[in-house]
Amino acid sequence: MKSEEILILTSREVQNLLTVDECIGAVEHAFCLYGKGKAVPPAVLSMNTPGGGFHVKAGLLELDRSYFGAKVNGNFPENSTRFGLAAIQGVIVLCDAEKGIPLAVMDSREITSLRTGAATAVAAKYLARLNSRTVTICGCGNQGRVQLKALSRVFQLQAVFAYDKSGDQALRFAHELALDVKIPVTAVADLAAAVRQSDICVTCTPSRQPLLGSDDVSPGTFISAVGADNPEKQELHPSLLAKSKIVCDILEQCAVMGDLHHALDAGVVTQANVHAELGDVVAGKKPGRESDKEIIVFDSTGMALQDVAAAAFVYEKAERHGSGVRLSFAA
């Protein structure tokens, strides 16, 4: 590609260029680099609106070349019912971090979805019990689908429970995903009962009230809390975090927008009680699971380095395949 050209990639093109397995690999590598101190802490800017909100997540990552990436995302949970649109809308701008040259602009939805599921898969690899076989997915939208597909790549799952505030959506999810991942999926109406039977639970909802409390989880469970990506959202009761080993994607972010944020406000934990950031565990600087009995919560607010790693992978693959449209902004 000529130096003055920018590669434009649509959602469909991104989807064709990035598989779940590739995204898991890219995300794990990003967490490892960060844990080893080979990447500076990423930055985030958030602004809420009555119907949703926007955030800008930016990071620098040294891969085969030095990349800067900035994602501008709108998250509007009611988009589907109000406008027939996806909840996530946005773009990622990828630049050469050595020269400052913009390299690509790509739709962010597929990358956001895949990298979020990939982060759960990476966290589960280090924090869930090795023989985990049963999963509860709480929230049966697109993210729930991606979460299950990502987990199925790292564990030999045998049973899945699907819970959603919409029973019909849970039933559709169960039918479609059972065919997709070739694992029995059962729609359930009692979330707590399902979670008590599960090795792994993923919460990926726009909830603003706790969905799980300290009595709803059995010893040894791994929980990936994905939904709380702004200070108003909450999926886990502070009492559950108080009895769990807590691992964050980025501690500073989780302290202001994740489920950790609510536990800190409730005074039941302090930042000193957080066991580690996921990068520390992936890099081998801190242990992951140390007992089959400990409950471990992964507070996943979304790290910009996940976006940069995935976008860089997509860009390099697009260059090799000749994908996308090339435009020049030069005069």
Query: Which residue type is seen at 71?
Result: K
The HSE-up count of residue 153 (CA atoms within 13 Å, CB side) is: 20
DSSP state of 273: G
CA-based end-to-end distance of the chain = 17
Helices (H), 1-101: 11-17, 20-35, 79-83
DSSP 8-state code for residue 276: E
Report the distance separating Cα 192 and Cα 30, nearest Å.
34
Q: What is the 3-state secondary structure (H, E, C) of 1-22?
A: CCCCEEEEECHHHHHHHCCHHH
- Does the annotation count 71 as an active-site position? yes
SS (H, E, C) 182-205: CCCEEECCCHHHHHHCCCEEEECC
Taking CB atoms within 8 Å and a gap of at least 24, the contacts of 205-211 are 205/138, 205/139, 205/165, 205/235, 206/77, 206/87, 206/233, 207/233, 207/234, 207/235, 208/232, 208/233, 208/234, 209/234, 210/234, 210/235, 210/236, 210/237, 210/238, 210/240, 210/262, 211/138, 211/235, 211/236
Distance CA 269, CA 108 (A): 34
Active-site residue, selected from the candidate residues 57, 71, 233, 245: 71
Active site residues: 71
